[in-house]
Amino acid sequence: MTRMSITNMPKTTTVDDAPLISRTLARAFDDDPMMRWFFPDDASREATLGRYFATTFTRQYVHHGVCERTESAAAFWVAPEAQAKAVPDADAIGELQNILGDRAPLFRDAVETAAEHTPREPHWYLAMIGADPAAQGQGHGAALLRSGLAKADAAGLPACLESSKPSNLPFYEHFGFTVRQEVRLPGGGPVLWGMWREPSHPADA
């Protein structure tokens, strides 16, 4: 009989976790089609992604989201009542523009396009989840996904996410998500798959 390692146990994050979280997510998203589109330079991608995730975490999600981590993964969820607040303010937008450089207009257009397809029903939104590739397959991402879905289920609410990596779709489908729509990002960007999961009730377990 196997036991879950203590390193897999989700922990609530604080702003002090920013260095660990930004490193973890930078490694997790190095091969993600959307992040490769935003940050095409192979040599600088990991460092630039680290800055990007540090900014979004410290300026948005740690304040208005439900952020959890393990030793090798992180996830940012946003409850329905916080979704209007969990957006970059003017200073954060300036920081992101500096990080993105000449890719900033593509990023803006992608965000606006994705927003047009955001479900209108109240839901828990999985803004970000990723595990360090060195620890993938060890249950870190699954532990964080279960933790967030348990909160959505406790509220009796559905959950949604977007994925730009087709190989991740079966992972999410295993947890009850289904593809609701496919959106091609403007400017020659990748496809985003919008996924939806109805709340699970005790009778469904």
* Cβ–Cβ under 8 Å, residues 26 and 74: no
DSSP 140-194: HHHHHHHHHHHHHHHTT--EEEEES-GGGHHHHHHTT-EEEEEEEPTTT--EEEE
| C-alpha span between 102 and 37 (Å, rounded) | 12
pLDDT band per the 50, 70, 90 thresholds, residue 2: very low
pLDDT in tens, 136-171: 889 999 999 999 999 999 999 999 999 999 999 999
Whole-number Å distance between alpha carbons of 21 and 132: 10
pLDDT for 191 beyond 80? yes
What value does the mean pLDDT take over residues 189-195? 96
Give every strand in the sheet of 178-184, ordered side by side: 11-12, 66-69, 73-78, 124-131, 159-163, 191-197, 178-184
**Prediction pTM value:** 0.92
**Domain segments of the chain: what residues?**
8-204
Predicted local confidence at residue 88, as pLDDT? 85
pLDDT digits (tens, 9 = 90+) for 132-143: 999 988 999 999
Residue 194 phi/psi, 5-degree rounding, is -85, 125
* CA 70/CA 96 separation, integer angstroms: 26
Could you count the other beta carbons within 10 Å of the beta carbon of residue 172? 20
Find residue 125's DSSP bridge partners: 78, 160
State how far Cα 118 lies from the chain centre: 15
73-106 pLDDT per residue, tens: 999 999 999 998 888 888 889 999 999 999 999 9
Q: How confident is the model at residue 202 (pLDDT cuts 50, 70, 90)?
A: low
Which residue, 73, 62, 45, 199, is CA-closest to 135? 73
Closest CA to 65 of 52, 80, 77: 77
**CATH number, span 8-204:** 3.40.630.30
Q: Which of 86, 63, 67, 83 is nearest to 75 (CA)?
A: 67
Helix (H) or strand (E) holding 205: none
Q: Is residue 203 predicted with pLDDT exceeding 50?
A: no
